Amino acid sequence: MRRDRSIIKNEKSLRTYITPPADLYETPDAYILYIDLPGVTKENLNIKVVDNSLIVQGKFELSLPKDSDTMFSELAKGEYRREFVLAGDVDRNKIDAKLVNGVLILTLGKKEESKEIEIKIE
């Protein structure tokens, strides 16, 4: 069973993806992840948690008129994909996603028991 899955994984990795830049911050309650995904709409975005990893995948479609000449072509074309290994203290049920101006903002809440508590000295 496990072997089969690894084969599938390898097949998938044969595709090339664009790796979008990401920022990761940590607060006492959560991890906040910002990923630049310009051109990706909510419909073309796929976020999932598989085992210990968080996978973000998004498509960027360019609609150009048929009879056009390209003068500058710097934009990356294709599919974005980024995989993150989740830390043990992430609560899988507390993951929020927002897409603002081409930036995906993921808030990964921490498990209640792994939150930092300050111990008062008496």
Partner 1 sequence: MTLVRWSPLRDLATEIFDLQREINKMFDRFFRGFEEEEEVRISTWSPRVDISETDDEYIVRAEIPGVSKDDVKVTIRDNVLTISGEKKQEKETKNENFHRIERVYGSFTRSFTLPGAVKVDKVEAKFKDGVLTIKLPKVEEAKTKEIEVKVG
State the residues that interact with partner 1 by CB under 8 A. Answer: 21-27, 31-32, 34, 36-41, 62, 64-65, 67-76, 99-103, 105
In the complex, minimum distance from the CB of residue 65 to partner 1, in angstroms, rounded to a whole number:
5
Compare residues 6 and 42 and give the one whose CB is closer to partner 1. 42
Distance CA 122, CA 118 (A): 12
In the complex, minimum distance from the CB of residue 28 to partner 1, in angstroms, rounded to a whole number:
9
Compare residues 11 and 116 and give the one whose CB is closer to partner 1. 116
Q: Are 71 and 64 in contact (CB under 8 A)?
A: no
Q: How far apart are the first and last CA of the chain?
A: 55
Pairing, β 45-50 against β 30-36: unpaired
